[in-house]
Amino acid sequence: MNLLAFDTSTDALSIAVSIRGGGPDRQDRVWHSNGPGGAQASSSLIGGVMDLLRQAGLRLAELDAICFGSGPGSFTGLRTACSVAQGLAFGANVPVLPVPSLLALAQAARLDGAPDAQQGQITALLDARMDEIYAATYAFDGARWTTLQTPCLVAPENLAHWALAPADNSWHAWAGNVFGVYAERLRPSSGLICVDALPTALAMLQLAPALLSAGQAVPASQALPLYVRDKVAKTTVERAAEKAEKEMLLARSASPDVHA
């Protein structure tokens, strides 16, 4: 598959492009880049995407899908990723694939911590600030992932009680970016594997074929972030800033240079 993927849900920006394999080995070719995320992602994401597409010799209209890290994570990062995915997809008339950021984190941790394991369970964790953690638990069996606990907010002290213990002796880990921040408050069980990890665009590319086969792609107009922590109310200034940011990103992604 020809795929574009990017994640801006954390303080790291991750972008990757893959093109379907050619030649005798039929292996896909992949280009990827990383950079600072957060507030800086809004100014560098589109340029990074177009640079990788040029390296791959690929036009937007030749993509089978545009994958974005849908969250949970940074509010600004999620809005940026969703807006850019929508703008690029509208112009190129390709579907959008929202990929849960915690699932992408779990895939990245699996490849780093247990690349040869055929079965296992990962509790994916992202720092949600405000003394809370975004958490979800996934099990893998071969290339198939199953959600055991859907993304939610958990206090660090409650994580050990919230997280499911594995039903068997298969590989089991907690993974994420919370171990340095909440080291004294997590209280993992003795012997539990803890893997430092973040969601990556490369992990999203690996997840995408199964998600597409499961019908998870949507038209650009239906793409939405997964916030988990929703603000109850926004000030007039916040709403105006969010609208202006989205209009700027859509205008950038709809420019002639982007669709060339």
Q: CA dihedral in degrees (226, 237, 239, 129; nearest 10)?
A: 0
CA-to-CA distance for 135 and 162, rounded, in angstroms? 9
Residue 240 pLDDT: 65
* Alpha-carbon separation of residue 257 from 2, 46, 54, 253 (angstroms): 20, 11, 12, 9
User: Which helix (DSSP H) or strand (DSSP E) does residue 100 occupy?
Assistant: strand 96-100
CA-to-CA distance for 178 and 181, rounded, in angstroms? 5
Residue 188 pLDDT: 87
Residue 178 pLDDT: 97
Tokens of 180: 């340095």
DSSP string covering 175-220, please?
A: EES-TTTSTTT--PPTT-EEEE----HHHHHHHHHHHHHTT--B-G
Low-confidence ranges of the chain (pLDDT < 70): 22-26, 230-250, 253-260
Condensed to tens digits (0 to 9), the pLDDT of residues 43-78 reads 899 999 999 999 999 999 999 999 999 999 999 999
Residue 166 pLDDT: 85
Residue 37 pLDDT: 82
Condensed to tens digits (0 to 9), the pLDDT of residues 168-205 reads 878 999 999 999 999 989 988 878 999 999 999 999 99
Homologous superfamily (CATH) for 102-196 = ATPase, nucleotide binding domain (3.30.420.40)
Beta bridge partners of 253: none
The top-level CATH class assigned to 3-101+200-259 is: alpha beta
| Sequence spans of domains, the chain | 3-101+200-259, 102-196
Prediction pTM value: 0.86
CA-to-CA distance for 241 and 198, rounded, in angstroms? 28
CA-to-CA distance for 134 and 260, rounded, in angstroms? 39
Residue 65 pLDDT: 98
CA-to-CA distance for 113 and 32, rounded, in angstroms? 21
CB 42 within 8 A of CB 75: no
Residue 170 pLDDT: 84
| CATH topology identical between 3-101+200-259 and 102-196 | yes
